[in-house]
C-alpha cells in the first residue's frame, strides 16, 4: 500500500513540476503558414530539409498552424502555390512559401498575369527565386562569398591540384553563384585544373541532377578516384553517393560538404559550405507575423547566414586560411550580387 501511495505521489509531483515548466502556446487557428515543397524534397539532406526544420520550429513557438504540401510532380506543386496565392480570404491570415527555385518560372508567369494576391490576408514568399515582382516577397541566400572562401582554402591545400565540380543545373541562381565563387577563389591562388560537369546537359528533367546519389556512388566516384583530388557536388542529395564512396574507400578524394555540415558522413570532408536556411525561415516567418516582412532580402556571408565550416580534423591547418580570406570574400560577394 505504501509503495502504491509513493508512486501516486511521485506521479503527482512529476505532473505538477512539468506543468510549471511547460507553457504551451495557444494555437491561432486563423493564422497559418503553408509551404509547398518539391517531390522527394524532404529526402534531400540539404536545402528543403533545413527549410522544413526552420518552419516547424518557428510555427510551433509562435502558435501558428503549419500545413506542408508534398506534391507528386513539380507541375502539381506550382499549380498548388498559384491556387493558394490567388485566394484572398477575409478571416484568415496566410503565408504561402515556395521552397524551391524550380517553381520560379511558373510563379513569374502567374504574377505577370495578375494571379498572385498581395494583401493583409495572403502573401507569397519565394525562396531563392530568380526574379522580383511587386506582388511577391523574396529571400535570397547567396552562395558566392561562401564558395569563394571554399575555393581559396582548397587552393592552399598541398594535395589538391585537380578538382571536379558537379552541378545539378546551372539554371538555378545559387548553383551558378556557387560554381563561379569556387572557381574565382581557387584560381586566385593556384594554376591548376577544375573540371565542371552539368547533369542537365544529359537529362531532360531539370531536377534529375539533384537525385543521382546511386549513380554518383556506382559510377562517377569510381571514375574520379585517382583522377581528381577534390569533388564539389552542388547537387542536393547526389552528394550522398560521393560521401558513401569516401566511407568505403578512405583517402580516395576530398568531398566538399554543401548545404549542411557533412563531416559526420566522412572523414574526407575538409570543410562544408553551410547555409542556415532554418534560421532564414525563422526570421522571415517572424517578420511576416509581426507585419514587417521585407519585399526582398538577402541573407549572406557578411551577417553569418552562410559559413564555411572547417571540419574538426582539418581545423588547425585550414581555419587560419578561412579567416584570412573572409573579408575579401564578403567584398567579392557584394560585388557579384550588384
Distance (Å, whole) CA 172 – CA 168:
9
Question: What number is the average pLDDT over the span 64-77?
Answer: 94
> In order of start, what are the domains of the chain with their CATH numbers?
28-140 (3.40.50.2300), 144-276+304-337 (3.40.50.2300)
Q: What is the mean pLDDT of residues 134-148?
A: 96
- Check pLDDT > 60 for residue 12: no
pTM of the prediction? 0.87
**269 has pLDDT over 90:** yes
pLDDT given at position 91:
81
Q: What is the pLDDT of residue 129?
A: 82
C-alpha cell at 240: 550522398
Q: What is the pLDDT of residue 190?
A: 67
Separation CA 281–CA 279 (nearest Å): 5
Instruction: Give the sheet arrangement for strand 122-127, strand by strand.
Output: 64-69, 28-36, 93-98, 122-127, 137-140, 296-298
Strands (E), 22-168: 28-36, 64-69, 93-98, 122-127, 137-140, 162-167
Tell whether the model's pLDDT for residue 127 goes beyond 50: yes
Give the pLDDT band (50/70/90) at residue 98.
very high
Total number of residues shown for the chain = 338
How many whole angstroms separate alpha carbon 113 and alpha carbon 107?
10
Beta strands in 112-152 (DSSP E): 122-127, 137-140
Contact 115, 82 (CB under 8 A): yes
pLDDT band at 120 (very low <50, low <70, confident <90, very high): confident
* pLDDT confidence of residue 46: 65
Measured distance between the N- and C-terminal CA atoms of the chain, rounded to whole angstroms: 77
Secondary structure (H, E, C), 179-224? HHHHHHHHHCCCCCEEEEEEHHHCCCCCCHHHHCHHHHHHHHHHHH
Residue 69 C-alpha cell reads as: 504540401
Q: Using 50, 70 and 90 to split pLDDT, how confident is the model at 280?
A: very high
The torsion of the CA quartet 182, 184, 185, 187, rounded to 10 degrees, works out to: 110
pLDDT of residue 89: 80
> What is the model's pLDDT at position 1?
47
State residue 141 phi and psi, 5-degree precision.
-115, 95
What local confidence, expressed as pLDDT, does residue 338 receive? 81
Amino acid at each position: 500500500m505504501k509503495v502504491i501511495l509513493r508512486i501516486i505521489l511521485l506521479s503527482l509531483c512529476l505532473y505538477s513540476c512539468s506543468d510549471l515548466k511547460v507553457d504551451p502556446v495557444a494555437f491561432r487557428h486563423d493564422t497559418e503558414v503553408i509551404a509547398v515543397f518539391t517531390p522527394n524534397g524532404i529526402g534531400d539532406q540539404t536545402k528543403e530539409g533545413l527549410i522544413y526544420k526552420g518552419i516547424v520550429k518557428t510555427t510551433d513557438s509562435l502558435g501558428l498552424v503549419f500545413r506542408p504540401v508534398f506534391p507528386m510532380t513539380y507541375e502539381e506543386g506550382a499549380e498548388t502555390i498559384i491556387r493558394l496565392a490567388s485566394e484572398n480570404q477575409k478571416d484568415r491570415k496566410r503565408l504561402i512559401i515556395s521552397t524551391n527555385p524550380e517553381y520560379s518560372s511558373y510563379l513569374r508567369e502567374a504574377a505577370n498575369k495578375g494571379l498572385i494576391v498581395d494583401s493583409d490576408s495572403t502573401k507569397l514568399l519565394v525562396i531563392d527565386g530568380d526574379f522580383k515582382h511587386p506582388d511577391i516577397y523574396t529571400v535570397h541566400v547567396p552562395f558566392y562569398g561562401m564558395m569563394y572562401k571554399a575555393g581559396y582554402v582548397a587552393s592552399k591545400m598541398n594535395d589538391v591540384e585537380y578538382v571536379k565540380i558537379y552541378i545539378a543545373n546551372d539554371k538555378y541562381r545559387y548553383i551558378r553563384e556557387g560554381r563561379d565563387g569556387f572557381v574565382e577563389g581557387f584560381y586566385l591562388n593556384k594554376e591548376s585544373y577544375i573540371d565542371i560537369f552539368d547533369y542537365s546537359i544529359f537529362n531532360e528533367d531539370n531536377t534529375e541532377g539533384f537525385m543521382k546519389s546511386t549513380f554518383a556512388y556506382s559510377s562517377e566516384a569510381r571514375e574520379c578516384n585517382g583522377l581528381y583530388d577534390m569533388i564539389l557536388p552542388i547537387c542536393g542529395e547526389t552528394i550522398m553517393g560521393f560521401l558513401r564512396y569516401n566511407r568505403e574507400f578512405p583517402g580516395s578524394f576530398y568531398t566538399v560538404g554543401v548545404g549542411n555540415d557533412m563531416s559526420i558522413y566522412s572523414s574526407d570532408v575538409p570543410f562544408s559550405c553551410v547555409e542556415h536556411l532554418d534560421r532564414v525561415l525563422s526570421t522571415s516567418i517572424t517578420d511576416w507575423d509581426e507585419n514587417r516582412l521585407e519585399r526582398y532580402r538577402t541573407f549572406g556571408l557578411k551577417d553569418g547566414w552562410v559559413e564555411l565550416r572547417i571540419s574538426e580534423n582539418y581545423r588547425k591547418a585550414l581555419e587560419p586560411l578561412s579567416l584570412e580570406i573572409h573579408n575579401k570574400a564578403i567584398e567579392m560577394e557584394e560585388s557579384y550580387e550588384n
